[in-house]
Structure 1
Amino acid sequence: MDVIVIGGGIVGVATAYQLRAAGHRVCVVERHATVAQGATYGHGGIVLPTPLDAWFGPTFLGSRRGIVYRPGLNSSARRFAKQIAPLQAPDAFRAQWQRLRPLVELSRDAIASIEAGFHLEFEQREGVLHVTRDPREWEQAQSALELLGEFEMLHNVLSAAECAEVERSVPADPAFAGGVMFPQERTANCPLFTKLVKQVLDEQGGVQFLFGRAVESIRLENQRAAVELAPAESERKSTREVDVVSCDAIVVAAGAGSKPLLERLGLSLPFHPIRMLSLTSPIAYEECTPHLTVVDSVRRVSMTRMNQRIRVAGAAVLQPEREFAKPLSESLLEAGTALLAQSTHDWIPGAAKISAAHAWEGMRLLSPDGLPVVGNALHPRLFVNVGHGPAGWGLACGSAKVVSDLISGTPPSVPPDTLAALRVERFAS
């Protein structure tokens, strides 16, 4: 089949890879000049989420210490926070993680297959250490810790002294509640991984990339589907004509850009956008630099060494939806940057030269039940792969396999209850 994938971030490129591996011809349409330029660009580096990383869990919106939260009196942001709140209860959180876990494990297998099959090096680093300062917040995370044991995920619960022993950059003073070490979980460079997979596709053939082209609309017909492409930026002054590219199926995997495209087709999904911030900082003092990834569990800030720099990522900005069309205000940017800087000061003091850091912000879509939307939608020729939230990298590689299976008519590689939990129909009123 001929398949158009809209979006050249990690989700779109992973989807293209799986479709090509299944024997389809693929065209990836991306509005930027190359891949990995949107939300993928500033990814914090954690490859696969654990229950402690699940953004719908008890340590995310439940604490709000990691949220730059400006909801307004009766805004969409406040309504969204109320929608997601029930998932913080232990039983609800467990049930939702149970649905998500097969997608995480499928993603693990998909990444391992790509990595081993093409001997890719993308700054992989083993070992993730979650640290928590306040005993009350440590108690709040217990439902997530219980899941680690129930699902036999390799981890070690550590005292503050033990945390400082396994990661010398973490100061034992002032005292803190403790931490959790995941010795086999990894961090890596998501933009680099995306570019390397694109390079593999270029070498193999069968995948075309159209850069600098925005999709204006999607056409769905019985026999074929098509996308209308706006003129390239260099041609916009000389022509208003759109290019129409036909295909057998379309996959919408354009991150935050997916929402308006789908709404034009009459599909309104209850996603809420969230801005994620990151700082990429030069190393200040080599002896203070962590060899593990350190995660401030309550603020939801990850601190990862990437060669001669440190990526500090988190600081989610939750705003009313109407404000996302505007640039982020200086006060919110300062608040988010201060949150990131404070985490580095608290947990890896002396490691990052924050004054010389490069700041970045990107948009991600959150769903009100914590799961992405993956599968067929509206029409037999239309598929979606969106709403992965902050855990976009790992989940993208598994959901790409699910989409490829569905388009190929192959039984999906996740259990029926997980597949049902990912479908767009779950939001039908």
Structure 2
Amino acid sequence: MDVIVIGGGMAGVATAYQLRAAGHRVCVVERHATVAQGATYGHSGLVLPTPLDVWFGPTFMRGGRQAASGVISKTGFGGDARNFVKRLAALHASDAFAAQYALLRPLVESARNALDDVTGRFQIEFEAREGLLYVVRSNDEWSLTQPALELLRRFETPHHVLSAAACVADEHTIPSDPPFAGAVRFDDGQIANCPLFVKQLKQVLDTLGGVQFLTGRTVGAIRVETQRAAVELTPRDPGRASGNEVDVISADAVVVAAGAQTPGLLAPLGARLPLYPVRLHALTAPVAHEECVPRSTIVDAVKRIAITQMNHRLRIAGGAVLQRANQLDKPLPPPLTEEALALLGEAARDWTPGAAKISAALPWEGMKLLSADGLPVVGNAVHPRLFVNAGHGPAGWALALGSARLVAQLVSGAQPDLPDDTLKALRPERG
């Protein structure tokens, strides 16, 4: 089959790879000049999510919309934004949290296997290393993490629960003052350079053949018909184009993996995805003092801020901002940007003092999609020839590989290898 994939980020290139592996011919359409330029570019580097950093459950925005939770929200919420927060809040209870993570876990394992297969088959180098340390500040926050620790034990995930003293002894760069509650260490937890992985995977596809990349082209509309599907590409120079210069490319199926643009592309076809855009931030700072750089990646488990070394720089990623839907297509007001970046700088000073030269940091801002039930949106939508791979959230970029494998199975008419309850929970048209 001929398949068009819209999006050249992690989800789009992963989908192209899995479709190519299943024997299909693929055309990837990407609006930027090259791949991995959108939200993929600013990713924290966390490869797979654990119960401690999924964006739902007991610690998400606990106690209201406050920066103490790592999420900044503009006042005057209404409509979709309010519904989004309410639905996520419904997963605070331990039983609901556990049930939802149990649905996600088969996709996590599928993603792990897919990543191992790709890296083993092609010897991709993408600055991968192991060692994650999730730190928790207060005793109240520590109590909120207990359901996540119970899930780690239930699924027999290798980890170590550390007291504050043991944490400081294990990672000497973390200060003991001010006091904190404790930490959880994952010796085999992976961190890696997500945009580098995507670029390396594109090179693999270029070598294998069977995948065409159309970069610098924007999709204006999607068409789906009984026999074929197609996308309309906006003119390269809209200022000089006449009304009949729209390029159209057709295929047997279309997969929308366009990140934050996904809902807008699908809305004219009648699809209403259970997704909400969240602005995220990152600071990439030169290393100030090598002796202050931690061996492990440090994750503030409640604020969901990750601090990791990337070559001779530190990336501090997080600082989520929730806004009303009618404000999402406008630049973020400077005070909110400053507040988000201040959260990142504060986390760096708290957990890795002296490691990063924050005054010389390069800021980044991007948009990620979150679902109100915490799970990505993967599968067939609206029409038999239309598929979606989106909404993987900020933690765990390799989830897109597992989702891409599912999309390839569905496009091929093969039996998916995920449990039925997980497949149902991932459906784009779920409630």
Whether the TM-score (by the shorter chain) exceeds 0.5 is yes
Q: What is residue 132 of structure 1 aligned with on the other side?
A: 136
Q: 1:237 aligns with which of 236, 240, 244?
A: 240
Query: In the aligned structure 2, how far is the partner of 1:90 from the partner of 1:348?
Result: 31
Q: What is residue 44 of structure 1 aligned with on the other side?
A: 44
Query: In the aligned structure 1, how far is the partner of 2:88 from the partner of 2:116?
Result: 32
Query: 1:75 deviation in Å?
Result: 4.9
In structure 1, what residue type is equivalent to 2:229?
Answer: A
Asked whether the 8 Å contact 2:272–2:429 carries over to 1, the reply is no
Query: 1:147 deviation in Å?
Result: 0.3
Q: 1:413 aligns with which of 412, 417, 428?
A: 417
* 1:27 paired to 2:27: yes
Q: 1:398 aligns with which of 402, 406, 420?
A: 402
Which digits, 9 at most, give the CA deviation of each residue in 1:99-132, with x for residues without a partner?
0000001001111111111111111110000001
Query: In the aligned structure 1, how far is the partner of 2:22 from the partner of 2:161?
Result: 41
Question: What is the TM-score of this pair, normalised by structure 1?
Answer: 0.97
Q: 2:260 aligns with which of 256, 263, 267?
A: 256
Which digits, 9 at most, give the CA deviation of each residue in 1:333-356, with x for residues without a partner?
100010000000000000011100
Q: What is residue 186 of structure 2 aligned with on the other side?
A: 182
Q: 2:355 aligns with which of 345, 351, 356?
A: 351
Q: What is residue 2 of structure 2 aligned with on the other side?
A: 2
Query: In the aligned structure 2, how far is the partner of 1:202 from the partner of 1:335?
Result: 42
Q: What is residue 208 of structure 1 aligned with on the other side?
A: 212
Query: In the aligned structure 1, how far is the partner of 2:168 from the partner of 2:302?
Result: 18
Q: What is residue 12 of structure 2 aligned with on the other side?
A: 12
Query: 1:236 deviation in Å?
Result: 4.5
Q: What is residue 59 of structure 1 aligned with on the other side?
A: 59
Label 1:222 to 1:392 Cα distance change in 2 as closer, same or farther (>3 A).
Answer: farther
Asked whether the 8 Å contact 1:132–1:176 carries over to 2, the reply is yes
Q: 1:383 aligns with which of 382, 387, 395?
A: 387
Query: 1:381 deviation in Å?
Result: 0.5
Q: How does 1:160-179 map to 2 (within 5 A)?
A: 160-179=164-183
Query: 1:197 deviation in Å?
Result: 0.2
Range moving further from structure 2, 260-269 or 177-186: 260-269
Question: What is the TM-score of this pair, normalised by structure 2?
Answer: 0.97
Label 1:386 to 1:129 Cα distance change in 2 as closer, same or farther (>3 A).
Answer: same
Give the percent of matched residue pairs that are identical in Structure 1 and Structure 2. Answer: 61
Query: In the aligned structure 1, how far is the partner of 2:77 from the partner of 2:377?
Result: 29
Query: In the aligned structure 2, how far is the partner of 1:260 from the partner of 1:325?
Result: 11
Query: 1:357 deviation in Å?
Result: 0.4
Q: 1:86 aligns with which of 77, 85, 90?
A: 90
Q: 1:118 aligns with which of 109, 122, 130?
A: 122
Asked whether the 8 Å contact 1:71–1:78 carries over to 2, the reply is no
Query: In the aligned structure 2, how far is the partner of 1:191 from the partner of 1:378?
Result: 31
Query: In the aligned structure 2, how far is the partner of 1:221 from the partner of 1:75?
Result: 33
Query: 1:392 deviation in Å?
Result: 5.3
In structure 1, what residue type is equivalent to 2:270?
Answer: G
Query: In the aligned structure 1, how far is the partner of 2:36 from the partner of 2:173?
Result: 31
Asked whether the 8 Å contact 1:231–1:239 carries over to 2, the reply is no
Which digits, 9 at most, give the CA deviation of each residue in 1:259-287, with x for residues without a partner?
11100111122321100100111001011
Q: What is residue 199 of structure 1 aligned with on the other side?
A: 203
Query: In the aligned structure 2, how far is the partner of 1:275 from the partner of 1:425?
Result: 24
Query: In the aligned structure 2, how far is the partner of 1:424 from the partner of 1:125?
Result: 33
Asked whether the 8 Å contact 1:55–1:61 carries over to 2, the reply is no
Query: 1:290 deviation in Å?
Result: 1.1
Q: Structure 2: any 5+ residue segments left out of the alignment? A: none
Q: Structure 1: any 5+ residue segments left out of the alignment? A: none
In structure 2, what residue type is equivalent to 1:15?
Answer: T
Which digits, 9 at most, give the CA deviation of each residue in 1:16-56, with x for residues without a partner?
00000000000000000000010000000100000001101
Which SS does the other structure have where 2:91 is aligned?
helix
Q: 2:373 aligns with which of 359, 369, 377?
A: 369
Asked whether the 8 Å contact 1:228–1:243 carries over to 2, the reply is yes
Asked whether the 8 Å contact 2:305–2:347 carries over to 1, the reply is yes
Q: How does 1:220-299 map to 2 (within 5 A)?
A: 220-233=224-237, 236-240=239-243, 241-299=245-303
Query: In the aligned structure 2, how far is the partner of 1:396 from the partner of 1:363?
Result: 16
Asked whether the 8 Å contact 1:132–1:138 carries over to 2, the reply is yes
Query: In the aligned structure 2, how far is the partner of 1:61 from the partner of 1:197?
Result: 36
Range moving further from structure 2, 29-38 or 390-399: 390-399
